[in-house]
């Protein structure tokens, strides 16, 4: 919690650092939706004045991660159940688009990398290595995003993924989820390897649908957003 002075080796500007740090905490779930973010408090915490804090909040607000009502404290964007459902759905559509394009465009090297990663994950499933599988899962989807060879589409899907990520973290704790996830990935990989765009898109939609359902099982406790400070 002690961030006394600013490190002289700055990767970018102070604002970017803060925005990244905060975005990270929001995405990781450390900062729960609804948490209020006073400018003064943040400034103290990061050892800067309110000006850069405000700018960072501006970025996060434009990213949709925080809400900023005029003259009131900013807060981590609370998400209604309806909005969350919509985001999962959009996520499915976006990833399906990625997969459709990836099936047609991936290089041989990319296809091999995808398959290798996927086959390697089989061992993690058998071992029940939840953490490791989660990481492999992230890389798997990342390869899909890159495979579509469209930076813009990748940006959209990554942004959406970040916004739903606090809610999908726990899904792998459901019994049997690892095995099912691997099987679903398998259908995706097969379709892509044989270059079947429509099948790939369809498989991804099916996969994301179950992810959405599994995640929803962990989000039963949100209704109206009561300010939880």
Partner DNA sequence: GATGATTTGTACGTATGTATA
Partner DNA sequence: ATATACATACGTACAAATCAT
Question: Where do contacts with a second copy occur on this chain (CB under 8 A)?
Answer: 12-13, 51, 54-55, 58-59, 61-63, 70, 83, 86-87, 89-90, 93-94, 96-97, 100-101, 150-153, 156, 160
Task: Give how many residues touch DNA by CB under 7 A.
Answer: 24
- Among 38, 49, 20, 41, smallest CA distance to 76 is for 38
89 binds, among a second copy, DNA, none (CB under 5 to 8 A by kind): a second copy
User: Which segments of the chain does DSSP mark as H helices, in order?
Assistant: 14-28, 39-46, 50-63, 81-105, 108-127, 130-147, 151-168, 177-193, 197-216
Q: How many CA atoms lie within 13 A of 123 on its CB side?
A: 5
Cα three-residue angle 162-56-145, rounded to 5 degrees: 25
**How far apart (Å, rounded) are the C-alpha atoms in residues 77 and 170?**
20
Place of tokens 């899962």: 137
Of the candidates 2, 9, 11, 70, which one interacts with DNA according to CB under 7 A? 70
Residues 12-31 that bind DNA (CB under 7 A): 13-15
Q: End-to-end CA distance of the chain, in Å? A: 19
Q: Does 35 bind DNA (CB under 7 A)?
A: no
63 binds, among a second copy, DNA, none (CB under 5 to 8 A by kind): a second copy
Q: What is the dihedral of CA 152, 155, 160, 161, to 10 degrees?
A: 130
62 binds, among DNA, a second copy, none (CB under 5 to 8 A by kind): a second copy
In this complex, which beta carbon is closest to a second copy, that of residue 83 or of residue 173? 83
In this complex, which beta carbon is closest to DNA, that of residue 55 or of residue 146? 55
Residues 118-177 that bind DNA (CB under 7 A): none
Please give the structure tokens belonging to residue 212.
Answer: 């959405």
DSSP label of 31 = S
Q: Does 72 bind DNA (CB under 7 A)?
A: yes
Q: Does 40 bind DNA (CB under 7 A)?
A: yes
Please give the structure tokens belonging to residue 16.
Answer: 């970017």
220 binds, among DNA, a second copy, none (CB under 5 to 8 A by kind): none
Of the candidates 22, 26, 31, 48, which one interacts with DNA according to CB under 7 A? 48
Of the candidates 23, 66, 74, 96, which one interacts with DNA according to CB under 7 A? 74
In this complex, which beta carbon is closest to DNA, that of residue 70 or of residue 175? 70
Please give the structure tokens belonging to residue 86.
Answer: 């919509």
5 binds, among a second copy, DNA, none (CB under 5 to 8 A by kind): DNA
In this complex, which beta carbon is closest to a second copy, that of residue 78 or of residue 186? 78
Place of tokens 């993924």: 161
DSSP label of 152 = H
């Amino acid at each position: 919690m002690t961030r006394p002075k600013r490190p002289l080796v700055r990767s970018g500007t102070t604002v970017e650092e803060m925005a990244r740090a905060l975005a990270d905490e929001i995405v990781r779930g450390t900062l729960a939706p609804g948490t209020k973010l006073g400018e003064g408090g943040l400034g103290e915490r990061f050892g800067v004045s309110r000006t850069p804090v405000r700018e960072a909040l501006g970025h996060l607000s434009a990213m949709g991660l925080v809400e900023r009502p005029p003259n009131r404290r900013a807060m981590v964007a609370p998400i209604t159940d309806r909005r969350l459902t919509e985001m999962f759905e959009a996520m499915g559509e976006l990833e399906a688009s990625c997969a459709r394009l990836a099936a047609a465009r991936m290089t041989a090297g990319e296809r091999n990398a995808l398959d290798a990663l996927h086959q390697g994950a089989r061992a993690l499933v058998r071992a029940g290595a939840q953490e490791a599988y989660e990481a492999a899962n992230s890389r798997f989807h990342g390869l899909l995003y890159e495979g579509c060879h469209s930076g813009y589409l990748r940006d959209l899907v990554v942004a959406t993924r970040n916004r739903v990520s606090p809610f999908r973290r726990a899904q792998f704790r459901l019994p049997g989820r690892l095995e099912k996830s691997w099987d679903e990935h398998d259908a995706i990989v097969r379709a892509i390897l044989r270059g079947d765009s429509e099948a790939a898109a369809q498989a991804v939609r099916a996969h994301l649908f179950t992810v959405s359902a599994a995640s929803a099982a962990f989000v039963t406790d949100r209704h109206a957003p009561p300010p939880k400070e």
